């Protein structure tokens, strides 16, 4: 096996497409792992991930949440990001609208934090 850093948008898009075709998605992939024949078999991200943790007051309407999301999306574009990660609780009243906003589910999971 060999691990190498992804350094171009073309490499990033290629690896991203491999993951999507396999039904998976690692956002902001920074490294790929190939087998002994050179076939990419894994990828991971060790870079800053453009994750956005968002709060909208529960008294607000879904339209207000949408407007806030539009501001976030533009801010992230201005920072040079092509994708964002939006962790969302399944109990959020806005959860049901996220796919309509063009976001793709990465699958069920929980976030963990720890010192290294």
Which pLDDT value is given to residue 40? Answer: 92
Q: Is the pLDDT of residue 33 over 80?
A: yes
Tens-place pLDDT, residues 47-81? 677 888 887 777 778 888 888 888 989 988 888 78
Which pLDDT value is given to residue 47? Answer: 67
Give yes or no for a contact between 33 and 1, defined as CB atoms under 8 angstroms apart: yes
Which pLDDT value is given to residue 25? Answer: 72
Q: Is the pLDDT of residue 108 over 80?
A: no
pTM, full prediction: 0.58
User: What proportions of the chain, in percent to the nearest 5, are helix, strand and coil?
Assistant: 30, 15, 55
């Amino acid at each position: 096996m060999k691990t190498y850093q992804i350094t171009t948008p073309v490499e990033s898009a290629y690896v991203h497409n491999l993951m999507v075709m396999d039904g998976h998605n690692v956002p902001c992939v920074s490294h790929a792992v190939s087998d002994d024949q050179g076939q990419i078999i894994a990828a991971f991200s060790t870079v800053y991930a453009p994750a956005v943790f968002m709060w909208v007051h529960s008294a607000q309407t879904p339209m207000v949440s949408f407007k806030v999301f539009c501001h976030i999306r533009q801010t992230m574009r201005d920072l040079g990001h092509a994708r964002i990660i939006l962790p969302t609780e399944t109990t959020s009243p806005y959860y049901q609208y996220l796919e309509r906003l063009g976001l793709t589910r990465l699958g069920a999971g929980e976030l963990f934090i720890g010192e290294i």
